[in-house]
Structure 1
Amino acid sequence: MVNFNGEILKDETLYLNIENRGLRYGDALFETIRFVTDEVILWEEHYLRLMSSMRILRMQIPMEFTMEYLESQIKSVAASNGLDQARIRLTIYRNNGGLYTPKSNSVSFVIEATPLSSPFFMLSEKPYEAELFKDFKVNADMLSTLKTNNRILNVVGSVFAKENDYDTCLLLNGEKQVVEGLNGNLFLVKGNSIKTPPLKDGCVNGIIRTQVIKMVEKLESFVLEEASISPFELQKADELFITNSIMGIQPITKYRKKNFSIETSKELIGKLNAVIRLQKHV
């Protein structure tokens, strides 16, 4: 079951057509969200990012798009699918009409829910190998920081990773700086320093990225740095990990000939779960 503009429909219902601008031009935004026990996790952060992104893309924000309204729509589709914990995808797209120039800036939304394996972020200790993807580059501009449907770079990079038996790839921008992983933001640990690329380098403005930055800044045992990362730094690191809203923290255990520790990832994921539990009860 999906939620299309507030109406619960069966998955096979033909509610989109060939004129859909998300399909034609990638004229759409999305949020991937955790839903656990009637709670939309980090919902305020997701909502504010979505509203900001809609303004940047000059989409018309409907009057009913309050936090409470969209939250209720997420909960309704989770309930309709009988899910107590779910991975939610909320997609906003500009309505049909026009070529590159739309006839209208009005929008529609679709909300999907699929089962989530655990109510908490669980750290995987399985081998997880990464490689650089050099064929295409991330543009270091504001559009790259948004969660838009223009993810063809991530798709082609994922095909490359699968063809070469890598678990993920790391993306570069035009200045040959490491920007992020195919599936989330990148953090590099060296000694007591934790480093992540700044938004100006083109990385997605990730919800968990922000949470980890705030969390690490409060820890006396680490120093947080938002700074560009050179490919040469990767093999000198003690640890590398990727963050996103579904898995939380994913350690990279191998890059080329270098094997990495996962001790910092273990420490941080426990703290991340604690931060989110605390926010739920505020």
Structure 2
Amino acid sequence: MNDFLSFIIFLYTTMQKIVYTQDNLQLLNRSFLFGDSVWVSFFVRNGNLIMSEESYFFLMASMRKMRLNIPLTYTLEFFQELFQREVLDKGIRNGIIQLMAYRIQDEKPLSKSETAFFFEVEESEDILNIQGNIELDLIKEINVNANLLSNIRVHSAENIYAEIYAKENDLDDVILLNPNKKIARSIFGNLLFLQNNVIKIPKQTEGAYISPLMENFVTFIHKNKLAEIEEAEIIAFESQKADEILRISDEKGIHSVSKIRNKTFENEQFSMLVQRWRDAFNLSAL
């Protein structure tokens, strides 16, 4: 295993960033040419991998949905040992590992093509902290699909368009609708709408991402009866009726939504819920 893997480390003044790739990386690979890849996040907290099983099984499910050939070596233990050696042992205490699995460009049929992977990780604040406030708006020019591939992180021209739109309009993110004009997700993650102790979450059948980070948070709330969880079809106007809104992104972490158009939102209750979730992790680590 050590003979065919290599890594590149970039050291910045305040944060470390690690980029790691297998040494059979081809410049003209199918991810580069066609977006033929899947992304899944793994999470580092206080020098440990957390939710690694959930992230691993999501990686396997995502690869199967994209019909990627899964090598027998891609076990949970393989990735745990790899991240221990190449991330944790390099001094990363808190961060998000972004792993991309892709099909190698070769002469074999697509279903028989070999698979490789790449990952990068940047140090960050505690992944279980609310990282800050963000401002959103609704985008109407485009929508996202609600099918088998809508729930996993694959190449999305809609995301690219929406990200440029957000930057041009001084927004941090935008709300994306599906073809039925229901809320699907944001560019980077899922939105949770809190009103009267009920947390509404767009259904995966509406185009929401599968998110190990969000599912862990929601499961904790449900098991401890801290709020009522409701998977629902949510019309755009309901975003204006919410008391609080939270964005949970496997890519960027957790953020409170402070403003959508002219309406501002508090974050008191979600802050309390996230704090209790974090405290539970601290206790389980003892």
Normalising by structure 2, what TM-score?
A: 0.86
1:109 and 2:108 matched: no
| Partner in structure 1 of residue 104 of structure 2 | 95
Aligned match of 1:251: 256
Distance of 1:166 and 1:39 partners within structure 2: 33
Change (3 A) 1:39 1:203: same
Q: Given residue 115 of structure 1, which amino acid in structure 2 is its aligned partner?
A: E
Rate the CA distance shift 1:33–1:221 in 2: closer, same or farther, 3 A: closer
Quick check: 1:188–1:195 contact (8 Å CA) kept in 2?
Answer: yes
- Report the CA distance between 1:195 and its aligned residue: 0.3
* Amino acid corresponding to residue 5 of structure 2 in structure 1: G
Give the distance between the partners of 1:163 and 1:275, measured in 2 at CA. 40
Question: C-alpha distance in 1, partners of 2:263/2:173?
Answer: 15
Cα contact 2:26–2:104 (8 A) shared by 1: no
SS at match of 1:34: strand
What stretches of structure 2 of length at least 5 have no aligned partner?
10-18
- Aligned residue for 2:142? 136
| Alignment partner, residue 211 of structure 2 | 206
Distance 1:12 1:247 in 2: 19
Q: Is the 8 A contact 2:247 2:255 kept in 1?
A: yes
- For the aligned residues, what is the CA RMSD? 2.6
Unaligned segments of structure 1, at least 5 residues? none
* Amino acid across the alignment from 1:8: F
Which residue of the other structure, out of 187, 191, 214, is the alignment partner of 1:186?
Answer: 191
User: Partner of 1:234: helix, strand, or coil?
Assistant: helix
Structure-2 separation of matches of 1:36 and 1:212: 15
Deviation at 1:135, TM superposition (A): 1.8
- 3-state SS, counterpart of residue 62 of structure 2: helix
Aligned to 2:7: 8
The reply to whether residue 45 of structure 1 matches residue 54 of structure 2 is yes
Q: Per-residue deviation at 1:6?
A: 2.8
Q: Which residue of 1 aligns with 2:69?
A: 60
Which shifted more, 244-253 or 170-179? 244-253
Q: Measure the CA separation in 2 of the matches of 1:171 and 1:245.
A: 17
2:271 to 259, 266, 272: 266
Amino acid at match of 2:278: N
Q: Secondary structure at the match of 2:77?
A: helix
Percent identity of paired positions between Structure 1 and Structure 2: 28
Structure 1 residues 193, 84: closer, same or farther in 2, change over 3 A? closer
**CA distance in 2: counterparts of 1:103 and 1:208, whole angstroms:** 30
Letter in 1 for 2:129: M
Question: CA contact under 8 A between 2:95 and 2:127: conserved in structure 1?
Answer: no
Aligned in 2, Cα 1:252/1:133: closer, same or farther, shift over 3 Å? same
CA shift, 1:98, in A, is 5.4
- 2:126 is matched with 119
Which shows bigger deviation, 221-230 or 15-24?
Answer: 15-24
Q: Distance in 2 between matches of 1:71 and 1:32?
A: 13
- The structure 2 residue matched to 1:25, chosen from 34, 40, 61, is 34
Give the superposition deviation at 1:4: 11
- Correspondence 1:213-228 to 2 at 5 A: 213-228=218-233
After TM superposition, give the deviation of residue 37 of structure 1 in Å.
4.2
Count, aligned residues: 275
- Secondary structure class of the residue paired with 1:136: coil
SS of residue matched to 1:175: coil
Q: Secondary structure at the match of 2:237?
A: helix
For the Cα contact (< 8 Å) 1:59–1:107, is it kept in 2? yes
